[in-house]
C-alpha cells in the first residue's frame, strides 16, 4: 500500500478550478519532487493535502496510509503524520517558539493517547535539533516567525519538521529564500529524515535543491495536472528548457 495516494483530485479556490484531475502516488521511503510554473497549483495541492479552509475539493480522493485524508480536519491530518512546510510561514505575534513547539508535540501525544512531554527533556531535544539547523536559543524564545528573515523562517519550518517527525512531509519551496550555506544545512536536515517508512514531497523551482536531496521521481505540474513524470534527469531537462511545452499543451 502506498503512503499517499492522490486520485483524480479536483479543487476550486474562490470558485475557480485550480486542480483539474491530479494523480500522484508516493510510497513510503520515496522522495518525489514537483516542479511547475508559477500559478500552476503547487501550493494549492499542498494546502488541499494539509486541509486548509477555502480550498474546496470537487472531485477525486486522497488516501493517506489507506485512510480517507480529505474528511479529516487539518489538526487530525497533522497528528496522523502529515506535515506541510509552508511556502510562506505565518507570523504568530505573542506566541513564543518553544510554546508553539510544545503545544504541537503535546497535541500529537494526546492524539496518540500519550502523556504530555517532560518539559526539561523537551527543551534539550529542541535545542539540539535547533543547533544543527543554525537556530539560536534567542530565536526559539522569540514569537514564531516574527521579525525572522526569509531564510530564518524556512529554517524554522525545518526545525518543526525535525521535532514533529512526520511520516509524510510536503516541502513547499523550502529552498526559496535560503542562502547557499543554509540550503545545504536544510537539505542535510531533510536527508537525515529520509527513512524507509517516511515519504517526502518537495515542491521547488530549482534543480539545485535536488542535487542535495536526490529525488526518486520528478513530476511536472502545469495547469492543475501532472503533465509528465520521470527520474531526476527530468529536473535537469526542465532547468534547461523551461515549461513552454507544458504550458502550450495545457492551453
Whose Cβ is closer to ligand ATP: residue 147's or residue 242's?
Answer: 242
Cell of 209: 535543491
> Given the DSSP bridges, would you call strands 225-230 and 199-203 parallel, antiparallel or unpaired?
unpaired
**Residue 18 binding target from ligand ATP, other proteins, Mg ion, none, CB below 5 to 8 Å by type:** ligand ATP
Q: What is the closest distance, in whole angstroms, from the C-beta atom of residue 48 to other proteins in the complex?
A: 12
Closer CB to other proteins, 82 or 209, in the complex: 82
| Closer Cβ to other proteins, 34 or 101, answer by number | 101
Choosing from 43, 145, 160, 227, the residue that interacts with Mg ion (CB under 5 A) is 43
Indicate which single residue of 1, 38, 94, 244 sits in contact with ligand ATP (rule: CB under 6 A). 38
Laid out side by side, the sheet with 225-230 consists of 82-85, 168-172, 199-203, 31-35, 217-222, 225-230
Residue 51 binding: pick among other proteins, Mg ion, ligand ATP, none (C-beta 5-8 Å cut-off by kind):
other proteins
Residues in contact with other proteins by CB under 8 A are 50-54, 73-75, 78-79, 83-84, 86, 89-95, 99-100, 103-104, 107-108, 111, 143, 160, 164
Specify the residue, 35 or 162, whose C-beta has the smaller distance to ligand ATP. Answer: 35
Distance CA 244, CA 144 (A): 39
φ, ψ at 200 (rounded to 5°): -135, 130
Contacts with ligand ATP, residue ranges (CB under 6 A): 13-14, 16, 18, 36, 38-44, 87
Amino acid at each position: 500500500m502506498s503512503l499517499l495516494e492522490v486520485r483524480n483530485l479536483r479543487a476550486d479556490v474562490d470558485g475557480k478550478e485550480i486542480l483539474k484531475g491530479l494523480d500522484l502516488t508516493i510510497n513510503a521511503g520515496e522522495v518525489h519532487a514537483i516542479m511547475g510554473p508559477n500559478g500552476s497549483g503547487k501550493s494549492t495541492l499542498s494546502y488541499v493535502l494539509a486541509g486548509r479552509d477555502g480550498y474546496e475539493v470537487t472531485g477525486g480522493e486522497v488516501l493517506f496510509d489507506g485512510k480517507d485524508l480529505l474528511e479529516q480536519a487539518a489538526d487530525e491530518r497533522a497528528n496522523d503524520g502529515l506535515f506541510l512546510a509552508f511556502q510562506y510561514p505565518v507570523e504568530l505575534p505573542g506566541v513564543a517558539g518553544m510554546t508553539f513547539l510544545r503545544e504541537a508535540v503535546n497535541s500529537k501525544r494526546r492524539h496518540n493517547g500519550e502523556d504530555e512531554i517532560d518539559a526539561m527533556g523537551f527543551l534539550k531535544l529542541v535545542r539540539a535539533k535547533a543547533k544543527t539547523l543554525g537556530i539560536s536559543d534567542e530565536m526559539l524564545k522569540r514569537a514564531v516567525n516574527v521579525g525572522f528573515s526569509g531564510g530564518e523562517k524556512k529554517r524554522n519550518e525545518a526545525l518543526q519538521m525535525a521535532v514533529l517527525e512526520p511520516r509524510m512531509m510536503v516541502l513547499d519551496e523550502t529552498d526559496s529564500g535560503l542562502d547557499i550555506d543554509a540550503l545545504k544545512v536544510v537539505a542535510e536536515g531533510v536527508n537525515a529524515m529520509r527513512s524507509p517508512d517516511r515519504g517526502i514531497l518537495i515542491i521547488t523551482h530549482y534543480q539545485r535543491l535536488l542535487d542535495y536531496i536526490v529525488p526518486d521521481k520528478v513530476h511536472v505540474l502545469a495547469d492543475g495536472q501532472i503533465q509528465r513524470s520521470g527520474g531526476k534527469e527530468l529536473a535537469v531537462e526542465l532547468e534547461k528548457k523551461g515549461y513552454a511545452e507544458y504550458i502550450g499543451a495545457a492551453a
